């Protein structure tokens, strides 16, 4: 009886660990559509510099720093950040952190 209980406990722990790890990996990727909707106040499908600067943040960020970050995200220098640019530049940022 004790051996069965021990085997069940180990199996349950392994299953829990696997599901917890899978959930953690899923959470690393942000919801880009949700981010775009949050910043896109005029609902045109892109984020302008003014929308980017006026979005609420947890911390105050200097305008100069926001402008530099916006320029990095706006890879085609159109003055608007698209959904594709968000996705592409998120991946670039993740690759820089790994190196």
The full set of domain ranges for the chain reads: 1-29, 31-98
Q: Dump pLDDT digits (tens) for 74-96.
A: 999 999 999 999 999 877 765 55
Q: What is the pTM of this model?
A: 0.64
Structure confidence at residue 33 (pLDDT)? 94
Structure confidence at residue 99 (pLDDT)? 46
- The residue to which tokens 């349950």 are assigned: 12
The answer to whether residue 5 scores a pLDDT higher than 80 is no
Fold (topology level) of 31-98: Recoverin; domain 1 (1.10.238)
Euclidean distance between CA atoms 70 and 40, whole angstroms: 14
The answer to whether residue 30 scores a pLDDT higher than 90 is no
The answer to whether residue 15 scores a pLDDT higher than 90 is no
If we measure between CA atoms, which residue out of 86, 72, 88 comes closest to residue 37? 86
């Amino acid at each position: 009886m004790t051996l069965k209980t021990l085997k069940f406990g180990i199996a349950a722990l392994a299953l829990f660990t696997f599901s917890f790890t899978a959930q953690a990996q899923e959470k690393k990727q942000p919801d880009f559509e949700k981010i775009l909707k949050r910043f896109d106040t005029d609902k045109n499908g892109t984020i302008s510099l003014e929308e980017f600067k006026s979005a609420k943040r947890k911390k105050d960020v200097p305008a100069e720093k926001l402008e530099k970050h916006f320029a990095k995200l706006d890879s085609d220098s159109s003055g608007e950040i698209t959904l594709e640019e968000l996705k592409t530049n998120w991946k670039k940022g993740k690759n820089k952190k790994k190196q």
